Chain A
Amino acid sequence: MSTSSSTATSPLQQKENVNKGFTKPHKLGLKHPRKLRKSRKILQNWQLYIFVLPAFLYFLIFHYIPMYGVQIAFKNFIPTLGIWGSEWVGFEHFTRFFESYYFWDLIKNTLGISVYELIVGFPLPIILALALNEVKDSFFKRTVQTVTYAPHFISVVVMSGMIIAFLSPATGIINHGIQFLGFEPIAFLSDPAWFKTVYVLSGVWQSTGWGTIIYLAALAGVDPQHHEAAIVDGATRFQRIWHINIPAIVPTMIILLIMNVGSIMALGFEKILLLQNPLNLESSNVIATFVYQAGLLDAQYSFASAVGLFNAVINAILLITVNKIAKKTSETSLW
């Protein structure tokens, strides 16, 4: 504060000055109306608090209470005893999970499917958006957009039904095509070797078009003067995309990349659960489906919570790390 301003007086005197002298009323005089304004603001806008109340209660009950409830991962949770009454067991459930024979399979599948999805699924919307951006014929452009957005609205159940129907070894159209070309039909969903590919490619089919929206919005913000100048300088189309359009969408790319990496362990398992069967379990069992199995079907609440918490911690570490790297290298980050 004002300690460094006066050099002649001793520290003790100084303090007294601060307390007795002009500083105190001055300080009060500054803070008082502000405080008053603040409380008056709160009083004036009390109705706004009622507006937020439902949302506040929702997040409190369905998000923050579960966060508090995560402590059952460290307890032997017995529903009749409640969270507080249950016995504390520390990291027992975690060590049991780490030492289980399926631990590495789960890690391998969770990471395997996510990384596969990231490598295949991340660049495609960018490429599609860059290509769409080159099209000046608005009817063709609109048609491609309308059609490629559409699968986004197909429910995960119907999507899984489509996958199962199309890939059926005996009656599916894809295997008819394979046989037509003179190959043996492939039992895609009962062969563990195929599961990840089926999962990732069907996801690409469903979400690539929708994923272009954000990039197209970013591309729409590119100043046409850049392009005009580049054309004058004799740049080819490809050069213009490379030097003007791609740099324009890099911040969007980085944000989406961070978010994708941050959700690697939180793999959307609704579709996996639907496509899973005992024959492909070897490559389809991921942490999320395992938590569902152990927690809800086998009612091992504490153990499943521990597995879920382990997953969430890895997830948070990934998110924070990637965000940090992005911040250092490109100055774009989530926070």
Chain B
Amino acid sequence: MNSSIHETKTDKIFKAFVYIFLTGALVIVLYPLIYIVSASISNPSDVNTGEMWLFPKGITFEGYRLIFENGDIWRGYLNTIFYTALGTFINLAVTIPAAYALARKDFVGRNLLMGMFVLTMFFSGGLIPTYLVVKNLGLIDTIWAMVLPNAAAVWNIVIARVFFQTSIPKELEEAAIIDGASNFKMFVKIILPLSAPIIAVMALFYGVGHWNGYFNALIYLSDKEMFPLQLVLREILVLQEMSSQSTNLTGTMAEAMHSKQQLAAVIKYGVMIVSTLPIIIVYPFLQRYFVKGVMIGSLKG
């Protein structure tokens, strides 16, 4: 569009405001992110006194060294990888076939089932009755408590269903049926290979949820050996408890105490990065899929 020709003075002022506003938003969001990265590799005392306010000062990787030596963090990491992999697999195994079936016009009872699922978005038994169900099923302190209570999300079923309704040509299904393929065969041979985009979006949504989740672990797990990363982080970041391992420094007691306090802060910034690292790594590649997923879901408001 050559709207620039028509630009008046007020338009220019308005445009300037838009750019100032957006730059402001950019700086406000970006600053804390840069600060965390800088703080994690800076000299602890410079961070604590406020000497370090943007770029790293007195670069040291001591914080990261301690994080990597910390057994709790490693174990939490492994647990989280396991929960995320298993949980996401279950999520997909539940969501994708259900969404496909619910997208089929010749599937009798689809609206009833869909209504039953959607209703749970607005009404629920609440925390305690749900907890009691999980408890009565004997899932407390098992890996299943981490994956089964969130085996599917209504919103994701809706998104996947819209995908199947709009992106898979009906003629393909009809042709397969005429060729005598069963629904099962058709799903595996034809639908799944065409569903890579939606599977990717779903895997990302669910995967991030498992990776970042802490509440299920908080209420369903008491065995520390099973804690996912986020619960370990909670102890370090929120409850401010450093396990003895991470701060078992050599030297005199007094020295150790001082270093401990100093280092605690830097370790905090380090774990923020370490724990978010997988998401930071995949984020730039997958951003458009995330966005696409939200947009597909918003098609019908």
- Residues of chain A touching chain B, judged by Cβ–Cβ distance below 8 Å, are 38, 41-42, 45, 47-52, 54-56, 58-59, 61-70, 72, 79, 127-128, 131-132, 134-135, 140, 143-144, 146-151, 153-158, 160-162, 164-166, 170-171, 173, 176-177, 179-180, 205, 208-210, 213-214, 217-218, 224, 227-228, 231, 234, 236-238, 251-252, 255, 262, 270, 274-275, 288, 291-292, 295-296, 301, 304-305, 308-309, 311-312, 316, 319, 332
* CB pairs A–B below 8 angstroms (7 shown): A62-B149, A66-B125, A69-B125, A161-B238, A205-B29, A295-B127, A305-B129
Inter-chain contacts of B86 with A (CB < 8 A)? none
- Cβ-closest chain A residue relative to B47: A171
Decide yes or no whether B89 CB sits under 8 A from chain A.
Answer: no
From A150, A217, A274, B283 is in contact (CB under 8 Å) with A150
User: Which of B130, B219, B233, B284 has the most A CB atoms < 10 Å from its CB?
Assistant: B130
Inter-chain contacts of B95 with A (CB < 8 A)? 55
B147 CB to closest chain A CB (Å) equals: 11
Decide yes or no whether B165 CB sits under 8 A from chain A.
Answer: no
A309 touches B126 (CB 8 A): yes
B272 touches A176 (CB 8 A): no
Chain B 1-35 interface residues, beta-carbon cutoff 8 Å to A? 1, 3, 6, 8, 10-11, 14-15, 18-19, 21-22, 25-26, 28-30, 32-33, 35
Bound complex: CA A275 to CA B237 (Å): 11
B53 touches A69 (CB 8 A): no
From B8, B183, B233, A158 is in contact (CB under 8 Å) with B233
A277 CB to closest chain B CB (Å) equals: 9
A231 touches B214 (CB 8 A): no
Count A-B contacts at CB 8 Å. 271
A333 CB to closest chain B CB (Å) equals: 10
Inter-chain contacts of B81 with A (CB < 8 A)? none
Inter-chain contacts of A127 with B (CB < 8 A)? 21
Closest 4 A-B residue pairs measured CB to CB? A66-B125, A161-B237, A176-B50, A155-B212
B152 touches A146 (CB 8 A): no
Inter-chain contacts of B61 with A (CB < 8 A)? none
A162 touches B272 (CB 8 A): yes
Inter-chain contacts of A148 with B (CB < 8 A)? 25-26, 29
A33 CB to closest chain B CB (Å) equals: 15
B26 touches A144 (CB 8 A): yes
B108 touches A45 (CB 8 A): yes
Inter-chain contacts of A50 with B (CB < 8 A)? 184
From B214, B240, B295, A156 is in contact (CB under 8 Å) with B214
A54 touches B97 (CB 8 A): yes
A41 touches B108 (CB 8 A): yes
Decide yes or no whether B178 CB sits under 8 A from chain A.
Answer: no
Contacts A63-B124, A131-B18; is A154 near B98 (CB within 8 Å)?
A: no
A238 touches B10 (CB 8 A): yes
Inter-chain contacts of B10 with A (CB < 8 A)? 236-238
A153 touches B208 (CB 8 A): yes
Bound complex: CA A218 to CA B208 (Å): 26
Bound complex: CA A291 to CA B129 (Å): 11
Bound complex: CA A58 to CA B120 (Å): 11
A295 touches B108 (CB 8 A): no
B295 touches A262 (CB 8 A): no
Decide yes or no whether B242 CB sits under 8 A from chain A.
Answer: no
Decide yes or no whether B74 CB sits under 8 A from chain A.
Answer: no
A169 CB to closest chain B CB (Å) equals: 12
From B157, B184, B211, B238, A160 is in contact (CB under 8 Å) with B238
A70 touches B22 (CB 8 A): no
Inter-chain contacts of A48 with B (CB < 8 A)? 101, 104, 107, 183
- Cβ-closest chain A residue relative to B279: A153
Decide yes or no whether B116 CB sits under 8 A from chain A.
Answer: yes
B230 touches A291 (CB 8 A): no
A255 CB to closest chain B CB (Å) equals: 4
- Cβ-closest chain B residue relative to A210: B294
From A67, A79, A150, A252, B33 is in contact (CB under 8 Å) with A150
Bound complex: CA A108 to CA B172 (Å): 57
- Cβ-closest chain A residue relative to B132: A69
B129 touches A72 (CB 8 A): yes
Bound complex: CA A248 to CA B289 (Å): 25
From B117, B125, B128, A296 is in contact (CB under 8 Å) with B128
B237 touches A231 (CB 8 A): no
Inter-chain contacts of B111 with A (CB < 8 A)? none
Contacts A146-B284, A237-B14; is A295 near B131 (CB within 8 Å)?
A: yes
Decide yes or no whether B245 CB sits under 8 A from chain A.
Answer: no
Contacts A47-B183, A224-B1; is A147 near B208 (CB within 8 Å)?
A: no
Decide yes or no whether B133 CB sits under 8 A from chain A.
Answer: yes
Contacts A51-B187, A217-B298, A301-B132; is A161 near B233 (CB within 8 Å)?
A: yes
Inter-chain contacts of A171 with B (CB < 8 A)? 47-50, 265
A274 touches B238 (CB 8 A): yes
From A155, A160, A305, B128 is in contact (CB under 8 Å) with A305
A58 touches B126 (CB 8 A): no
Bound complex: CA A143 to CA B9 (Å): 27
A173 touches B106 (CB 8 A): no
- Cβ-closest chain A residue relative to B269: A165
B36 touches A62 (CB 8 A): no
A304 touches B127 (CB 8 A): yes
B93 touches A316 (CB 8 A): no
Decide yes or no whether B215 CB sits under 8 A from chain A.
Answer: yes
